[in-house]
Amino acid sequence: SVAYYSYITGFRGSRKLKIGEFSFTRNKTSGLKTYWSCARAGVHKCKARVVTAQDHDVTIKCGQHNHPPY
């Protein structure tokens, strides 16, 4: 579980999840859970993933990024 996170608005107006120096974009929503992938997944093939439940319970599924923060 993550103690410090925030929701921000991305450059194009989309909602992003910010954890530390890294941003995540919403991948899909299923029931009460939302699945997020690293915002740099397409560029760097980063596998970092996060799951949120009801927008407040944040669980890191894969915390390893293969690139520096932006």
Q: pTM for the complete prediction? A: 0.85
pLDDT at 1: 56
Q: What is the pLDDT of residues 27-60, one digit of tens each?
A: 999 999 999 999 999 889 999 999 999 878 888 8
Interval 4-32 mean pLDDT: 91
Closest CA to 41 of 66, 18, 15: 66
Return d(Cα 58, Cα 70) in angstroms, integer.
21
Q: Domain residue spans in the chain? A: 5-62
| Closest of 40, 67, 37 to residue 49, by C-alpha | 37
* Span 5-62 CATH architecture: Single Sheet (2.20)
The runs of H, that is alpha helices, within the chain are 41-44
pLDDT score at 32: 93
- Identify which of 40, 34, 42, 43 has the alpha carbon closest to the alpha carbon of residue 61: 34
Which token pair is 32?
Answer: 């009460």
